[in-house]
Structure 1
Amino acid sequence: MIVRLFDNFTIINLFVLNQELYSLSERFLSYLELEKRYSVHTCTAYRNDLTQFLDHITTSYGRTLLADISHIMIRDWLASLMENAMTAKSVNRKISTLKSFFKYCLQQAMITQSPMVKVIAPKIKKRLPGFIDEKGMRALEENVSPVSTTALHIFASDFEGQTHQLIFEVFYQTGLRLSELIALEEFKIDKGNLTIKVMGKGGKERIIPISAALAAQIQRYQSEKRSHLEDFEEKVLFVHPNTGRKLYPKYVYLMVRKYLSEHQITTLRKKSPHILRHTFATHLTNNGADLNAVKELLGHASLAATQVYTHNTIEKLKKVYQQAHPKA
């Protein structure tokens, strides 16, 4: 049974007690940011995980050296998280953080063995990524609401409506992440060669082909932006239709959710910009795209991350088989 020694300690006291560990975590985070070039969002997640872990170590065990941290201490922390109803997926993310941290410590010759070798990650129930069917995407592309008997347009014809419609088109036709779409710069759109350059995770750049129709739509949007706004952020493609400033994640998230919900484009409970990325990948694989090509388009580091979309293809094949085969 573990006795909690410092339940009433303030954050400052925790830091002072194990200052070496907290300082080491800051060095590790600087390494991720400056050398590994992880995104701000990713570094923030790592920081939160490490701070929670070090706070637990300090309150449970008092002053602790790096070499004294054992797999038992780590298991104790993970058990406490699961007791508080944390999901297996979230616990696994924290395990990944600790693995990276102790790997860094090994590389710096601060320890001789990582305590993570004896830590087993909880199993996660695999869920297929949700996506919008082709009928729903056609409604968005043709700008006709599927729930209206009077052919009500989904997007308004004003500049705001044009901005929103183009955001949907770029998401669906390129599979960009939300952060990538917001950061997309005008000069990285090559309308002659019909490609865009995207800066992805870890500072990795990739080239994505686009259709001539999308290139023309982007050109019209750029012209409209210059005639509609007197002042706007010139570097990025997408700007706020009222202020001209660079878009922020919550604006795009709420906008996508609003259109998908109001026009009943999908029955999925989760209606986020990432659904459009899943839709891009799923429609490609369902129509016979090479998995390695889809991997490159999505900017995945490994094929394992892309293979989840083949499950959707298999489910489609099963459905076709059951509906069409005499012996099904």
Structure 2
Amino acid sequence: MIVRLLYNFTIINLFALNEELYSLAGRFISSIQLEKRYSGHTCTAYRNDLLQFFDFVTATYGTAPVGEITHVMIRSWLAKLMEDAMTAKSVNRKISTLKSFFKYCIRQELVKQSPMMKVVAPKISRRLPGFIDEKGMQALEDNRSPVSLGTPEIFTDDFEGHTHRLIFEIFYQTGIRLSELLSLQEFRVDKSNLSIKVMGKGGKERIIPISRGLNEQISAYMAMKRSHLEDFEPVVLLVHPHSGRRLYPKYVYLMVRKYLTEHQITTFRKKSPHLLRHTFATHLTNNGADLKAVQELLGHASLASTQVYTHTTIEQLKKVYQQAHPKA
């Protein structure tokens, strides 16, 4: 009890010592939320990064107005994070937070120059994204399990099974993010033009073409939803098959993992909805899709984010070699 009281007292004192920084952090978060329309998840991450940094500065260097924060302070904080075994990717995210924060401070004329100019980000060993091979995705599309589980079908022929199957189809055929799937609305499905309008990161909209087959699946699902559920959320496209409420992230994550694991669709360790997004992009690039077009479909702000999908499988390399080399 005494230890907790001392801890709370310390936190209160830290806040009192550097109230200016904490207040400034609040104004910065409001600006990126209202002006730049950053997502709630991003704003929370930025807020946590800043508060963690300010706590370190206050505890290590005492009261320090924003104009007195130096690159030495920032480097010492980053060094401590890496000593605590934080990954280079996470450290770079915190560097990105501080860069945005000090740019804001320059615009507000609180500092003349950003101390981040003398901070070098650690290199990230970029791993190639995992993906499901075309054979595995074909099994899901055909609804034929590649393993013997007593029934050859992967998805059941009820409303729950149709919901789960449609989720897989939308992920694989559009490459949208989990958050975009959850917020997908019925009126954003353009059945005549075979496309869907997706609200992406930063409130940016993009239009993604869909196949005639997926369009028919969506139409059938919408009709089934109205015949099977007495009450459901009227705007969102995909709902919980029993309650009719909007789907939540953990439900979709566990559902995707369950099917991919039980039916041995892939041996990749992390079986998540994002794996289907990687699969969408990898299959497009492996079959000759223009990288710029893939970037637009994925909603990437930078082409550099899309270039990771230019890797090819050993099967693709063998195929190209056998078709092109005169001695193959």
TM-score normalized by structure 1? 0.94
Matched with 2:166 is 166
Q: Distance in 2 between matches of 1:38 and 1:18?
A: 26
Equivalent pair of 2:172/2:276 in contact (CA under 8 Å) = yes
Equivalent pair of 1:300/1:306 in contact (CA under 8 Å) = yes
Equivalent pair of 1:88/1:122 in contact (CA under 8 Å) = yes
Counterpart secondary structure, 2:311: helix
- Structure 2 residue 27 is matched with structure 1 residue 27: yes
Amino acid at match of 2:242: N
Q: Distance in 2 between matches of 1:65 and 1:203?
A: 33
User: Alpha carbons of 1:38 and 1:57: their partners in 2 closer, same or farther (altered >3 Å)?
Assistant: same
Greater shift, 11-20 or 203-212, is seen at 11-20
- How big is each residue's C-alpha offset from its partner over 1:185-217, in whole Å with a ceiling of 9 and x where there is no partner? 000001111010011011111000001110100
Amino acid at match of 1:125: S
Amino acid at match of 1:37: R
- How big is each residue's C-alpha offset from its partner over 1:41-63, in whole Å with a ceiling of 9 and x where there is no partner? 11111111111111111111111
- How big is each residue's C-alpha offset from its partner over 1:293-321, in whole Å with a ceiling of 9 and x where there is no partner? 111111111111111111236x5543435
Counterpart secondary structure, 2:312: helix
Root mean square deviation, CA, Å:
1.8
Alignment of 1:1-328 (within 5 A): 10-148=10-148, 152-312=152-312, 317-320=316-319, 325=325
List runs of 5+ in structure 1 lacking aligned partners: 1-5
- How big is each residue's C-alpha offset from its partner over 1:150-200, in whole Å with a ceiling of 9 and x where there is no partner? 662111111111100000000000000000000000000011110100110
List runs of 5+ in structure 2 lacking aligned partners: 1-5
Q: Distance in 1 between matches of 2:37 and 2:237?
A: 23
Matched with 1:3 is none
Equivalent pair of 2:163/2:241 in contact (CA under 8 Å) = yes
Counterpart secondary structure, 1:312: coil
Amino acid at match of 2:75: R
Amino acid at match of 1:163: T
Q: Distance in 2 between matches of 1:87 and 1:149?
A: 40
- How big is each residue's C-alpha offset from its partner over 1:74-118, in whole Å with a ceiling of 9 and x where there is no partner? 111111111111111111111111111111111111101101011
Q: Distance in 2 between matches of 1:138 and 1:128?
A: 22
Q: Distance in 2 between matches of 1:78 and 1:7?
A: 24
User: Alpha carbons of 1:149 and 1:54: their partners in 2 closer, same or farther (altered >3 Å)?
Assistant: closer
Corresponding pairs, count:
322
Counterpart secondary structure, 1:206: strand
Equivalent pair of 1:131/1:279 in contact (CA under 8 Å) = yes
Q: Distance in 2 between matches of 1:61 and 1:172?
A: 51
Equivalent pair of 2:131/2:275 in contact (CA under 8 Å) = yes
Runs of 4+ in 1 over 4 A off after TM superposition: 6-9, 321-328
TM-score normalized by structure 2? 0.94
